[in-house]
Amino acid sequence: VVISASHNSFEFNGIKFFNNQGYKLPDAIENEIEEILFDEVEAPKIVTHEKIGKVIEKGNCLDDYAKYLVSLGKSLKGKKIALDCANGASYKIAQKVFSELGAEVMAIGNAPDGININRDCGSTHISALQKFVTDIGADIGFAFDGDADRLLAIDENGEFVDGDKILMICGLHLKRQGKLKNNAIVGTIMSNLGFDLAGKEN
């Protein structure tokens, strides 16, 4: 269960459920839960006593996840990376992962207090990171949203790099290495014509 306001301010916090494969619950199951919560249907019999199951406490989840992410990456030694963590979910792990990959990391939006998530920071307020990147002379900047499922990039000149450009940069890099499966990049219906043309040209 995750309590998150996604890219919104804290008063929009909601509850997100995930199954044991790490995926969000299907709408149909969420609707069933809502019906029970709002007394539209009778709640199933509650499990008690020895049938409840087990609680497993893991204090090192952050380290485990960071180790996994680092294993997917390449050395960033000699790079200066600016981060805007939106005072949200990435405020610890983003710095940890980029540092362990060898980068010099400087961050803003990394001091959550429970009510400042996404407030004038993160991917919905990109100007803060644009200024930070140029002020500190970073090679690149990354801005997350509150629940860290959105990412925007800023180049070394403080210029915004949108999702289509990020996809094309990564796709062309993988193509040069012979690692781009089926020579294809998947965009969304929001992707622009330039993305489509650049893909065809390459």
Token pair recorded at residue 157: 């000149």
Q: Beta strand 140-144 with 104-108: parallel, antiparallel or unpaired? A: unpaired
Evaluate whether 120 touches 61 at the Cβ level (below 8 Å): no
Task: Give me the catalytic one of 6, 9, 75, 90.
Answer: 6
Burial of 94 (0-12, 13-18, 19+ CB in 10 A): buried
What's the Cα-to-Cα distance from 1 to each of 20, 116, 136, rounded to whole Å?
11, 21, 37
* 9 is a catalytic site residue: no
Catalytically active residues, by annotation: 6
